Amino acid sequence: MGGAMNVLDGAATSVGGLLAGQAWKLAALVLLVVLLVVGGAGGALLWSAAAARDRALVDLKAVQDENAQLRAGVDDQNRAIQAWYRASEDAKARGQAAQQQAAINGQRFDAALQQLAGAKATTCADAMPYVNQLLEKVR
């Protein structure tokens, strides 16, 4: 039986050797498939990320344009408010000047009336010198 055992040992060794000789090919094939799948998935992810980045850039540009338009509108409103404020300040100054001038004119009129307070006239001809004097002092 020793010879049969040798033959079986030799056959097992040669089958094992044959399988071991083919195992590296199988392992290389499995590794190739894994690398292709991982590489393809990575490439798809990179492509997807690039597409998402491009969409985000387009959205960002749209938001920036909208923001620029809103800022321009706010700037227009601010300029209009400043112009209104300047116009109101000018009007206030004119109003104060007019009030001061009216007060001065009123004082002159009051002074002229006091000077003519004792005047008496019975006819229009008697009153005319007083009227002329009043008009001269008020002018």
List C-alpha distances in Å: 5 to 16, 52, 71, 131, 133: 16, 68, 95, 159, 159
pLDDT, mean over the chain? 84
The structural domain count of the chain equals 1
CA atoms within 13 A on the CB side of 122: 0
Q: Residue 8 has which token pair?
A: 């079986």
25: helix, coil or strand?
Answer: helix
Q: Decide: pTM greater than 0.75.
A: no
**Crossing angle between the packed helical segments 2-115 and 124-138, to the nearest 10 degrees:** 140
| DSSP class per residue in 95-120 | HHHHHHHHHHHHHHHHHHHHHTTT--
Please report whether residue 135 resides in a domain.
no
Q: What is the pLDDT of residues 125-135, one digit of tens each?
A: 877 887 887 77
CA angle 55, 59, 61 (to 5 degrees): 115
Q: What is the pLDDT of residues 20-58, one digit of tens each?
A: 667 788 888 899 999 999 988 888 889 999 999 999 999
Please report whether residue 33 resides in a domain.
yes
Q: Which pLDDT belongs to residue 5?
A: 58
Please report whether residue 106 resides in a domain.
no
Q: Which pLDDT belongs to residue 16?
A: 61
Number of residues in the chain: 139
> CB under 8 Å to 15, separation ≥6 — which residues?
none
Please report whether residue 136 resides in a domain.
no
- Residue 34 vs residue 114, higher pLDDT: 34
Please report whether residue 28 resides in a domain.
yes
Q: Which domain holds residue 30?
A: 2-100
